[in-house]
Amino acid sequence: MCQHTPQCPEASAPDREAARTLASHPDQGWSLLCNGIVIFEDTGELLPGGATIAPHRPTDLVFHSTVTGSQPSHAPAA
């Protein structure tokens, strides 16, 4: 149970990555957040129940458009 004020977002909340860091291991590429999430330097996540969230860097979309000259399929056309 989070003891911070205001409380950290729960692991199921959309802003879950805003929880405070309890343990950081940059040499190993991961950090443990207050809500039980292990977040990795590649932006992947391991949730408390064992589910995973794939890496989701916003820069991946920018890089794709710059390299290919096209928009990713899920982005609206400009």
Which of 13, 37, 33 shows the shortest CA–CA distance to 21? 33
For residue 21, which phi and psi values (nearest 5 degrees)? -85, 125
- Residue recorded with tokens 């995973």: 52
Q: What does the alpha-carbon distance between residue 78 and residue 70 come to, in Å, rounded to a whole number?
A: 10
* Arithmetic mean of pLDDT over the chain: 82
DSSP state of 47: -
pLDDT at 63 exceeding the cut of 70: no
Q: What is the pTM of this model?
A: 0.69
pLDDT, tens digit, 9 for 90 and up, residues 13-49: 999 999 999 999 999 999 999 999 999 998 899 999 9
Residue ranges of the domains in the chain? 1-78
Pair 23, 30: CB distance under 8 Å: no
